[in-house]
Amino acid sequence: MRRLMFAMAMLLVAIGCKKSKIDEVVEPKLIVDVQTIDLSYKAQGVEILYDSNLKVEVSSIFWVVVDSVEGGKIVLTVMENGTGALRSAKVVITAGELSHTVTINQQPKPDMMTLGLGHRSKYLDSPVWGGESLSGTIDWGDGTQEPYSEGISHEYADSEPRTARFEMLGAESFRIERVGDIESVELTL
């Protein structure tokens, strides 16, 4: 009888222990460091930091690729926006029944005009550009590159044939004031 009483007491203790572990409820947690990400048009990597006590899953759309989800960090690759329009994507981060949405806004690729001037001159002026918010780069064709600025010109060491390339964002027109030794004009829109 004593053994039976002892066995029943141990059973009750075991059930009580199991019940206390079952009653311990872990409160789910999901903390994400950002709600909106604004990006340029270029392809780029993005990191989103999170804190969770549950496994995290991420869903996105085709131009936002999930590279990895681990160690409190989500690594994404955002593809270049060549659509000509602002685009947005929702990246949904879930942990159990908790979720957080991050909106990614990506600017459209600006209109770019590329002008190549083939010449044999020792001196070349940049064309005069028309348009709003002009910016760009100049490859003078002799290994020298620099950002565009109004009224810029370049002096060469010799008069060998070469092509100077102007890649301009926001350009709507251009005017060549000194034609000089220009032999060819290539325009790409």
pLDDT range class, residue 22, cuts 50, 70, 90: low
Task: Name 126's Cβ contacts closer than 8 Å, sequence gap at least 6.
Answer: 138, 148, 151, 152, 153, 166
Q: Residue 65's domain spans which residues?
A: 30-106
- 90 & 116 share domain: no
Is 20 within a domain? no
Strand partners, 38: 105
**pLDDT score of 19 more than 60:** no
- 94 & 121 share domain: no
Q: Domains in the chain: how many in total?
A: 2
CATH number, domain of 63, equals 2.60.40.10
- 134 & 179 share domain: yes
Predicted confidence at residue 109, as pLDDT, reads 79
- 65 & 98 share domain: yes
Residue ending a domain, choose from 70, 85, 106: 106
Each residue's pLDDT tens digit, 134-150: 899 999 999 999 999 99
Is 174 within a domain? yes
- 37 & 65 share domain: yes
- 35 & 102 share domain: yes
- 63 & 122 share domain: no
pTM of the model: 0.56
In order, the DSSP letters of 79-148 are ----SSS-EEEEEEEEETTEEEEEEEEEPPPPPEEEEEEEE--SEEEPPEEESSS-EEEEE-SSS-EEE-
- 97 & 68 share domain: yes
Each residue's pLDDT tens digit, 75-132: 999 999 988 899 999 999 999 999 999 999 999 877 789 999 999 999 999 999 988 7
Q: What is the average pLDDT score of the chain? A: 88
**pLDDT score of 65 more than 90:** yes
Predicted confidence at residue 29, as pLDDT, reads 94
**pLDDT score of 4 more than 60:** no
pLDDT range class, residue 3, cuts 50, 70, 90: low
Is 120 within a domain? yes
Predicted confidence at residue 84, as pLDDT, reads 82
**In the chain, what is the straight-line distance between the N-terminal and C-terminal CA atoms, in Å?**
98
User: How much of the chain exceeds pLDDT 90, in percent?
Assistant: 68
- Left, alpha or beta for 180 (phi > 0: left; psi -120 to 50: alpha)? left
Work out the angle at residue 160's Cα, subtended by the Cα atoms of residues 155 and 165, and round it to the nearest 5 degrees. Answer: 65
Other C-beta atoms closer than 10 Å to the C-beta of 153 total: 10
